[in-house]
Structure 1
Amino acid sequence: MRKYDRESNTRIWTGVPKKVINALMAVFSVYCIGMTLFSTELPETKLARFLACVVIIGYLIYPVRKGKVRPNSMPWYDIVIMVLGAACFFYFAFYALDIIKLSTRIQPIHIAVGIIGTLVLMELCRRCVGIPILVVVICLLTYALYNQFQASGDPYLMLRNVVYKLFYTTSGVIGTPVNVCYTYIVLFIIFGAFLERTGIAAFFISFANKVAGWSSGGAAKVAVLSSALCGMVS
Structure 2
Amino acid sequence: MMKSLVSTGRKRKFAALPHKTLIIIAALFALGVIYGNLFVISDPLIIGILFLSGLFSMLFLVIGSRANAAERPTIIDWGLSALSLATGAFFLWNADVISSRITLLEELTPLQFFFGSSLLFLSLEATRRTTGAGLTVVVLGFMAYNLFGHLLPPPFGHGLIEYSYLLDALIFTTDGVFGVPIQVVASYVFLFVLFGTLLSFAGGGDFFFNLAAALTGKSPGGPAKVAVISSGMYGTISGSPVSDVVATGSITIPIMKRLGYSARFAGAVEVAASTGGSAMPPIMGSAAFILAEYTGFAYREVVYAAIIPAILYYLGVFSQVHLRAVKRDLRAYPDDIPTLKQTVINGWMFVVPVAVIVLVLSLGYSPTMTAGLGAASVVVAAACSPRTRMSLWRVVEGLGETTLRILPVAGACAAAGLVIGGLSMTGLGMKAANVIM
The verdict on a shared fold, with TM-score over 0.5 as the criterion, is yes
Aligned: 1:164 with 2:168: yes
Q: Which residue of 2 aligns with 1:110?
A: 112
Distance (Å, rounded) in 1 between the aligned partners of 2:230 and 2:136: 41
- Provide, for residues 165-191 of structure 1, a one-character-per-residue CA deviation record: whole Å limited to 9, x for no partner: 101111101111111111111111111
Report the Cα distance in structure 1 between the residues aligned to 2:67 and 2:230, rounded to whole angstroms.
39
Are the structure 2 counterparts of residues 194 and 148 from structure 1 closer, same or farther at C-alpha, using a change threshold of 3 Å? farther
Q: Is the 8 A contact 1:48 1:93 kept in 2?
A: yes
Summarize the alignment of residues 81-92 of structure 1 with structure 2, pairs less than 5 Å apart.
81-92=80-91
Structure 2 partner of 1:200: 204
1:21 to partner: Cα distance: 0.4
Query: Which residue pairs with 1:37 in the alignment?
Result: 38
Q: Which has the higher contact order (CA 8 A, sep 6+)?
A: 2
Question: Which amino acid in structure 2 is aligned with residue 119 of structure 1?
Answer: F
Give the % identical residues.
Answer: 23
Report matched runs for 1:1-234 at 5 Å: 9-67=10-68, 69-70=70-71, 73-104=72-103, 105=106, 106-147=108-149, 151=159, 158-203=162-207, 206=210, 227=236, 229=351, 231-232=354-355, 233=357, 234=374
Deviation of the 1:139 alpha carbon: 0.8
Task: Tell me what 1:3 maps to.
Answer: none
Q: Counterparts of 1:84 and 1:148 in 2: how far apart (Å)?
A: 33
1:76 maps to amino acid: I
CA contact (8 A) 2:49 2:88 kept: yes
8 A contact 2:57–2:80 mirrored in 1: no
Aligned mates of 1:90, 1:171 — CA distance in 2: 21
Q: Which runs of 5+ in 2 are unaligned?
A: 1-6, 152-157, 220-224, 237-281, 283-350, 358-373, 375-437
Deviation at 1:231, TM superposition (A): 3.8
Q: Could you list the per-position Cα deviations for residues 160-215 of structure 1 after superposition, in whole angstroms to 9, with x for gaps in the alignment?
A: 211111011111011111111111111111111100011134335546777x769x
1: CA distance between counterparts of 2:188 and 2:120? 23
Deviating above 6 A after TM superposition, structure 1's stretches of 4 or more consecutive aligned residues are 218-226
Aligned length, in residue pairs? 222
Cα pair 2:116 2:172 within 8 Å, conserved: yes
Distance 1:8-1:187 versus aligned 2 partners, 3 A rule: farther
Gaps of 5+ in 1: 1-5
Please report the TM-score for the alignment, with normalisation by the length of structure 2: 0.45
Q: Deviations over 1:50-82 (max 9, x none)?
A: 001110111121111111533xx2111211122
Q: Secondary structure at the match of 2:14?
A: coil
TM-score, scaled relative to structure 1: 0.81
Q: Tell me the CA shift for residue 48 of structure 1.
A: 0.6
Distance 1:24 1:195 in 2: 21
State the alpha-carbon separation in 2 of the partners of residues 133 and 222 from structure 1: 31
Partners in 2 of 1:89 and 1:222 — Cα distance? 41
Quote how far apart the aligned CAs of 1:224 are: 7.6
